[in-house]
């Protein structure tokens, strides 16, 4: 049995040495750069992350540079990558690291003390940065492990996750946790795919229970997906005499904490939304007669949303928010609101009357 485990591990590491993905964060031993990559890779594919990673490190080459940067600048560079709490937590963690002399954590326990780092990311960083014998059990490793070991339980359950982790720890070669974890990640990302796994190209096929029993498409077993709810939001499109649109900054907490958006609320009609929009902007407003609203739909992890932007005219002084050029707001704006600004720039709303009341500079 020990010989079989040793053989499996050797085959995997040999495959990885020849077929591992050439990713920029694998070309450095800098804990700062590796930490940035692992946070960006949370729930985001590597090919999407690469350009963001490179721009981010160019702007903030050290943890000190990140800690000293304004949060608005950090969020602006993160724009489009989604899950903005990651950027806010990175900024907070950078300040925490700098307060402690710029020293990075030494093991998984210390990594978990930083904002935004849970068990998986802590294990990944401990393995790759610190060489600690740990298993970073992400979706790829869960899928590979479930098929490899023939796991028939629901793969997201704590008991099954622990069982797969324990089996991988038995295979882990001491002192090579970083390479071992990344080899499994690449196997899951390029060969042991969620659908139509490429079993013919898999180096571990002779060790795989799912392959031997023809269960590749049935494993891993997942809990039944819940129906994704749908939400409706109403946004006000207010324009000043210089052709600028009003954006408001979201509170630091929440899905878009610290980002700038059109004034918007969850509502099904203008009548329901208007009092709330007036409270957000500090102005009375009325809907523009004869102008059509503009809607887009956006998919989040746990729900879908329709954002309907309605042209409106402020009838009193606007007290909250910032006026920006819609084609170049130079602020961190989440994707749905960026799309609405782009639609306005292209004339998607038709002509919108300018505000005739005093506006903020």
Q: pLDDT tens string for the chain (361 positions)?
A: 444 667 899 999 999 999 999 999 999 999 999 999 999 998 889 999 999 999 999 999 999 999 999 998 999 999 888 888 899 999 999 999 999 999 999 999 999 999 999 999 999 999 999 999 999 998 899 999 999 999 999 988 999 999 999 999 999 999 899 999 999 999 999 999 999 999 999 999 999 999 999 999 898 888 777 788 999 999 999 988 888 899 999 987 778 888 999 999 999 999 999 999 999 999 999 988 767 788 999 988 788 999 999 999 898 999 999 999 888 888 889 989 989 998 888 775 654 444 443 333 3
Instruction: Specify whether the backbone of 110 is left (phi greater than 0), alpha (psi in -120 to 50) or beta.
Output: alpha
Indicate whether 306 belongs to any domain.
Answer: yes
Indicate whether 11 belongs to any domain.
Answer: yes
123 and 20 in one domain? yes
Q: Give the structural domain span for 16.
A: 2-213
265 and 195 in one domain? no
303 and 167 in one domain? no
Q: How far apart are CA 124 and CA 140, in angstroms?
A: 13
C-alpha distance from residue 77 to each of 80, 96, 225 (Å): 9, 21, 33
Whether the pTM exceeds 0.85: the reply is no
Indicate whether 356 belongs to any domain.
Answer: no
141 and 288 in one domain? no
State the CATH number of the domain containing residue 241.
Answer: 3.90.79.10
Can you list the pairs that 61-70 forms with residues at least 24 positions away whose Cβ atoms lie under 8 Å? 62/32, 63/32, 63/94, 63/97, 63/98, 63/102, 63/104, 64/98, 64/102, 66/90, 66/91, 66/94, 67/91, 67/94, 67/95, 67/97, 67/98
Indicate whether 219 belongs to any domain.
Answer: no
Could you tell me the two tokens for 139? Answer: 């979706």
At which of 181, 213, 245 does a domain end? 213
168 and 129 in one domain? yes
Q: In sequence order, what are the beta bridge partners of 248?
A: 261
Could you tell me the two tokens for 240? Answer: 């000043």
**Amino acid 227: pLDDT:** 81
234 and 199 in one domain? no
C-alpha distance from residue 288 to each of 3, 47, 292, 308, 339 (Å): 76, 43, 9, 14, 21
Indicate whether 222 belongs to any domain.
Answer: no
Domain total of the chain: 2
202 and 65 in one domain? yes
At which of 152, 187, 213 does a domain end? 213
Annotation marks residue 79 as catalytic: no
307 and 193 in one domain? no
Indicate whether 354 belongs to any domain.
Answer: no
Q: How far apart are CA 36 and CA 129, in angstroms?
A: 12
**Amino acid 293: pLDDT:** 85
Q: Which of 38, 151, 165, 278 is catalytic?
A: 38
Could you tell me the two tokens for 293? Answer: 């609203």
């Amino acid at each position: 049995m020990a010989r079989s485990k040793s053989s499996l591990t050797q085959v995997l590491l040999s495959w990885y040495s020849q077929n591992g993905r050439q990713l920029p964060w694998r070309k450095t031993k800098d804990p700062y750069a590796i930490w940035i990559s692992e946070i960006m890779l949370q729930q985001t594919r590597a090919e999407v992350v690469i350009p963001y990673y490179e721009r981010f490190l160019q702007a903030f080459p050290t943890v000190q540079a990140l800690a000293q940067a304004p949060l608005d600048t950090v969020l602006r560079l993160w724009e489009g990558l989604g899950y903005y709490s990651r950027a806010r937590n990175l900024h907070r963690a950078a300040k925490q690291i700098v307060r402690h002399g710029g020293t990075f954590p030494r093991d998984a326990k210390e990594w978990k003390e930083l904002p935004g780092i849970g068990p998986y990311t802590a294990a990944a960083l401990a393995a790759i940065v610190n060489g600690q014998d740990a298993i970073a059990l992400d979706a790829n490793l869960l899928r590979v492990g479930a098929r490899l070991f023939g796991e028939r339980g629901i793969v997201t359950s704590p008991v099954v996750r622990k069982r797969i982790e324990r089996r991988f720890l038995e295979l882990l070669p001491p002192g090579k946790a970083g390479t071992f974890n990344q080899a499994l990640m690449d196997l899951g990302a390029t060969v042991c795919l969620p659908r139509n796994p490429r079993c013919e190209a898999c180096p571990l096929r002779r060790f795989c229970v799912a392959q031997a029993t023809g269960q590749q498409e049935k494993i891993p077993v997942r809990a039944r997906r819940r129906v994704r709810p749908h939400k409706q939001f109403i946004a006000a499109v207010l324009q000043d005499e210089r052709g600028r649109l009003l954006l408001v900054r979201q509170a630091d907490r929440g899905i878009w904490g610290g980002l700038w958006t059109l004034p918007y609320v969850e509502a099904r009609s203008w009548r329901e939304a208007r009092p709330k929009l007036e409270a957000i902007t500090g102005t009375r407003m009325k809907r523009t007669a004869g102008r059509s609203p503009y809607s887009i739909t956006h998919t989040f992890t746990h729900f879908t949303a329709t954002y309907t932007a309605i042209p409106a005219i402020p009838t009193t002084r606007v007290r909250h928010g910032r006026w920006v050029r819609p084609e170049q707001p130079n602020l961190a704006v989440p994707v749905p609101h960026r799309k609405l600004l782009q639609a306005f720039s292209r004339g998607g709303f038709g002509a919108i009357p300018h505000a005739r009341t005093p506006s903020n500079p």
